[in-house]
Amino acid sequence: DQQVKQNSPSLSVQEGRISILNCDYTNSMFDYFLWYKKYPAEGPTFLISISSIKDKNEDGRFTVFLNKSAKHLSLHIVPSQPGDSAVYFCAASAVFWGKLQFGAGTQVVVTP
Amino acid sequence: EAGVTQSPTHLIKTRGQQATLRCSPISGHTSVYWYQQALGLGLQFLLWYDEGEERNRGNFPPRFSGRQFPNYSSELNVNALELEDSALYLCASSWGEQGEVYNEQFFGPGTRLTVL
């Protein structure tokens, strides 16, 4: 039961350009959304989050947009840097739920 | 500030044995979560402990169990190991106040369990 979907398994972007990662969800109970970055053989690193009462949240080069009516969120990385090459996971949760429901991930490759 | 720590880094067991994985949360965090990432699969939620109690459980058999200690560290036990239990097991922690849970979870480096 894929309640969180990342339909693009991979994304290649040039250094300095914008990376846009997309995520769709189906469960209307979700009210908190997060993005994580993961390198091989390491645990995910928290990047940015957004609650359902907002439609945008920024932190440095990272901006997350939430469209509740479309059940869609996106992560923008501007400008993209070679160190951004990793797998990015979208995750969703609900208050008191505790668990995070993860998408399958998008492999981002930033080329010089 | 120290992050979430997990031990051991790698664990090799044979089918039918028991495995014990350990996790120390970030100081001040009271909630601990366990996830499984099997090869080719995404992160699957296993267990959530808060203030020493199991709060939620994922779709895993009872062979997977755990506990949280008074110092908020946690243990994941997997009994009667099967080959498909081979995976990266990740522990995460977060802080929360009574009646409210903050869902920003911070992950440890994981324990790679191999079942032969």
The per-residue pLDDT for range B71-104, each reduced to its tens digit, is 999 999 999 999 999 999 999 999 865 445 556 8
Chain A residues with at least one Cβ partner in B under 8 Å: 32, 34, 36, 41-46, 49, 89, 93, 95-105
B51-77 pLDDT, tens digit per residue, is 899 999 999 999 999 999 999 999 999
CA distance A22 to A27: 16
Residues 5 through 44 of chain B touching chain A, CB cutoff 8 Å: 31, 33, 35, 42-44
Alpha helices in chain B (DSSP H): none
Residue B111 in this model has a pLDDT that exceeds 70: yes
Question: Mean pLDDT score of chain B, rounded to an integer?
Answer: 91
Residue A18 forms beta bridges with which residues?
none
Contact A32 B103 (CB under 8 A): yes
Contact A43 B90 (CB under 8 A): yes
B100: chain A residues, CB-CB within 8 Å: 95
B51: chain A residues, CB-CB within 8 Å: none
A89: chain B residues, CB-CB within 8 Å: 42-43
- pLDDT in the model for residue A18: 97
Residue A107 in this model has a pLDDT that exceeds 90: yes
A47-95 pLDDT, tens digit per residue, is 999 989 999 999 999 999 999 999 999 999 999 999 999 999 999 998 7
A2-52 pLDDT, tens digit per residue, is 899 999 999 999 999 999 999 999 999 998 999 999 998 789 999 999 989
Contact B48 A99 (CB under 8 A): yes
**Local confidence band at B114 (pLDDT 50, 70, 90 cut-offs):** very high
CB-based burial of residue B34 (10 Å sphere; 0-12 exposed, 13-18 middle, 19+ buried)? buried
For residue B15, the 8-state DSSP code is T
Contact B107 A41 (CB under 8 A): no
Residue pairs spanning A and B at CB distance below 8 A: 64
